[in-house]
Structures are given as C-alpha cells and as structure tokens.
C-alpha cells in the first residue's frame, strides 16, 4: 500500500488508510475523539467526518495531483466522540482527468452515517505549481 497523495495530512484528524487500490478503491478508519467535539453532548463536528470522507476519496484515486472540485454529501446519523468510523471509497466514473468517487462512512454498528459523491480532477501539475 503506497500513498501517492496528501502525504502530509494529519491522519489523527482525517483517518488512517487501511486499503488503497490505485484509481479504484480505498478504506480509511477514523477514530473520533474529544478534539472533534462540537458541543457538551459529545457530538462530533461534521467537518471532521467530511475531512475523512474527502481523504478517502483522494486515496481512492491516489494520484499526486488529485484535487476535489465539488461534492454532494449527506450526513445521515450523528457520530459521538469515541466512535470508530470506516470510510469506503469507490471510483465509479473516469473520463480523462475527471473522476467521480462514491464514499460511505459506516459506524461500528454497521450503520451508514455519511454518504457522498466526490467530483475530482487530476491536473497535469500540482495546483500550486509544483
């Protein structure tokens, strides 16, 4: 398993890759914690959920230059700090430099808590000119 993109991402906040199949499939595990809490009930802020799903989408493609162009997402169930989520991403559309990735986030009870379609692009060089 070789990570070719987003190599410096904080995996504590965005998840740890468990499976990577280049330009095809990925699984990322996110262990939520107190740093992600949005309120006194222990609710995890959706930004952390989205971040893990986005990271999963990027690793599903696993190209050094891949970037997110847009996303359509749904938060289906709340997540409480301390829960482990598994994000599964599958590339379902390829056309030149364009990719579409379906991502689902599943909790330890097997419930889908998040789903989204991520629309990605692979520019010929890094978006910051590298």
- Please state, as a whole number, how many other Cβ atoms lie within 10 Å of the Cβ of residue 126: 10
**Tens digits of residue pLDDT in 27-70:** 999 999 999 999 999 999 999 999 999 999 999 999 999 999 99
pLDDT band with cut points at 50, 70 and 90 for residue 130:
low
Mean pLDDT of 66-93: 98
- Report the alpha-carbon distance of residue 46 to residue 31 in Å, rounded: 14
pLDDT band with cut points at 50, 70 and 90 for residue 129:
confident
- Which of the four CATH numbers 3.50.50.60, 3.40.30.10, 3.10.129.10, 3.40.50.720 does domain 11-121 have? 3.10.129.10
The predicted pLDDT at position 1 comes to 84
DSSP type of residue 34? G
Average pLDDT over all residues of the chain: 96
Nearest to 36 by CA among 26, 46, 23, 28: 46
Return all residues near 10 (Cβ < 8 A) that are at least 6 apart.
none
Q: For the whole model, what pTM was predicted? A: 0.95
List the chain domain ranges. Answer: 11-121
DSSP type of residue 37? B
């Amino acid at each position: 398993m070789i990570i070719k993109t987003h190599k410096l991402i904080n995996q504590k906040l965005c998840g740890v890759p468990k499976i990577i199949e280049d330009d095809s499939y990925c699984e990322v595990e996110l262990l939520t914690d107190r740093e992600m809490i949005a309120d006194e009930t222990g609710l995890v802020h959706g930004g952390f959920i989205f971040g893990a799903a986005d990271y999963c989408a990027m690793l599903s493609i696993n190209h050094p230059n891949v970037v997110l162009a847009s996303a359509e997402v749904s938060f289906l169930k709340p997540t409480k700090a301390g829960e482990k989520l598994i994000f599964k991403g599958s590339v379902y559309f390829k056309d030149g430099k364009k990719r579409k990735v379906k991502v689902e986030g599943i909790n330890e009870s097997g419930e889908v808590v998040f789903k989204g379609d991520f629309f990605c692009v692979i520019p010929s060089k890094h978006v910051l000119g590298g």
